[in-house]
């Protein structure tokens, strides 16, 4: 102990790391909030003054953060937010006269529901050092919101994938929320957001993603005020990769689906589409879900008790309203390629329980979430851009008009 103190008097303490310096403090002064290594009888709070005060709770996000000394000079100051195992440092600088430290620009918006630690070392006129360590906690807002998003982290998707957020609370400060979600791509491409109402925000480039592109979605919603008194709670990074390009065109009049991958035709399969009273939407749709088997009940999509099939095989969702491309084992084989009999879905011939050798199984095994299915020559209207991932039905200029950052 005496050897360490002697080294500190001779100036060697200036090369101590933060961990080493505060280990010395703990040895000399015990486990207290602060310690004075050398000098007079002034307490550490008199030697190094910290705002907010040590142990403060419910500190406002816009509160002043400052470290100062009445005489001498500050040698080192470190302010960090402690979040799980991660520490984020608040950048700042010591004034030219050495008497005070403040964040860059003089202010720093603190993270809500966070714990901060302030560590400072000061040197007095005699060259003797004092150090202080304090903590404070910021206020926890009562109201929070999150964004439910697709696609999933580390997924491989088709070139038509649209990054889509559904927020748990209506968003009023749309520009702030949109700005807090940063999407970058390698190779680089412009990506723009488009709001559909107060609770949904989608992002896409002008044209389908280039195969092989790596897309990073940096979600920085934590403490972003989405509406008065309602703050975001997410901070995370999502990365996905764009696979090959596959676009399938369903011709309702011809009862066929041509599957193209990277510009070449993989195959053409016979289909059945929506009947005359229950037509299929036209337009570009993006695969958002895939199910080996699922239940389809007419009650859930406004068709009453017209059908309830508990084991629909190879089901691929195309719209939020219930348009699927799926296997169909209950219609005679002669229907496919000849007549439209469905309630709006695209049916491919299949067997009960699903069979990979049928047209439905063949297509399912060659499909990714994010692949595009385009419906043409139907008598119905074009699918709405917010019905599933239908944003490709808007031109680029109109898409960008829906951004809050334009």
The residues annotated as belonging to the active site are 326, 345
* C-alpha span between 288 and 371 (Å, rounded): 9
Structure tokens of 158? 């088709």
Residues 6+ positions from 395 with CB-CB distance below 8 Å: none
* C-alpha span between 209 and 2 (Å, rounded): 66
Is 403 within 8 Å of 295 (Cβ atoms)? no
**Residue where the block lists tokens 């059908």:** 307
Nearest to 122 by CA among 206, 21, 235, 221: 21
* C-alpha span between 50 and 69 (Å, rounded): 9
* C-alpha span between 366 and 225 (Å, rounded): 42
Residues 6+ positions from 234 with CB-CB distance below 8 Å: 146, 147, 219, 221, 222
Residues 6+ positions from 97 with CB-CB distance below 8 Å: 73
Nearest to 78 by CA among 42, 48, 112: 48
Is 332 within 8 Å of 209 (Cβ atoms)? no
**Residue where the block lists tokens 């020559």:** 377
């Amino acid at each position: 102990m005496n050897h360490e103190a002697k080294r500190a008097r001779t100036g060697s303490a200036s090369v101590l790391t933060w961990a080493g310096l505060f280990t010395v403090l703990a040895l000399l002064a015990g486990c207290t909030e602060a310690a004075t290594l050398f000098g007079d009888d002034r307490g550490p709070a008199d030697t190094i003054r910290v705002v907010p005060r040590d142990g403060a709770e419910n500190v406002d996000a816009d509160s002043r953060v400052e470290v100062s000394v009445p005489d001498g000079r500050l040698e080192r100051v470190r302010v960090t937010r402690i979040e799980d195992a991660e520490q984020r440092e608040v950048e700042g600088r010591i004034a030219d006269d050495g008497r005070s430290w403040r964040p860059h620009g003089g202010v720093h918006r603190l993270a809500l529901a966070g714990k901060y630690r302030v560590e400072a070392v000061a040197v007095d006129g005699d060259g003797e050092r004092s150090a202080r360590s304090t903590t404070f906690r910021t206020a926890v807002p009562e109201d929070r919101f999150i964004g439910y998003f697709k696609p999933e982290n580390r997924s491989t998707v088709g070139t038509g994938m649209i990054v889509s957020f559904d927020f748990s609370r209506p968003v009023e400060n749309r520009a702030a929320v949109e700005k807090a979600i940063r999407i970058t791509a390698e190779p680089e491409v412009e990506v723009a957001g488009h709001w559909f109402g107060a609770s949904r925000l989608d992002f896409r480039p002008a044209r389908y993603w280039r195969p092989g592109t790596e897309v990073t979605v940096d979600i920085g919603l934590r403490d972003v005020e989405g509406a008065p008194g309602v703050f975001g709670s997410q901070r995370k990074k999502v990365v996905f990769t764009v696979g090959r390009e596959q676009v399938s065109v369903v011709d309702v009049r011809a009862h066929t689906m041509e599957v193209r991958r990277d510009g070449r035709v993989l195959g053409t399969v016979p289909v059945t589409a929506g009947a005359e009273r229950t037509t299929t939407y036209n337009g570009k749709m993006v695969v958002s879900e895939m199910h080996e088997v699922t239940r389809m009940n007419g009650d859930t999509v406004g068709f009453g008790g017209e059908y309830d099939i508990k084991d629909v095989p190879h089901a691929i969702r195309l719209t939020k309203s219930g348009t699927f491309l799926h296997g169909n084992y209950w219609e005679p084989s002669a229907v496919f390629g000849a007549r439209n009999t469905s309630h709006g879905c695209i049916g491919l011939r299949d067997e009960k329980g699903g069979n990979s050798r049928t047209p439905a199984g063949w297509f399912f095994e060659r499909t990714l979430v994010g692949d595009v299915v385009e419906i043409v020559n139907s008598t119905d209207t074009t699918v709405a851009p917010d019905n599933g991932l239908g944003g490709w039905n808007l031109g680029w200029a109109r898409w960008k008009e829906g951004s809050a950052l334009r």
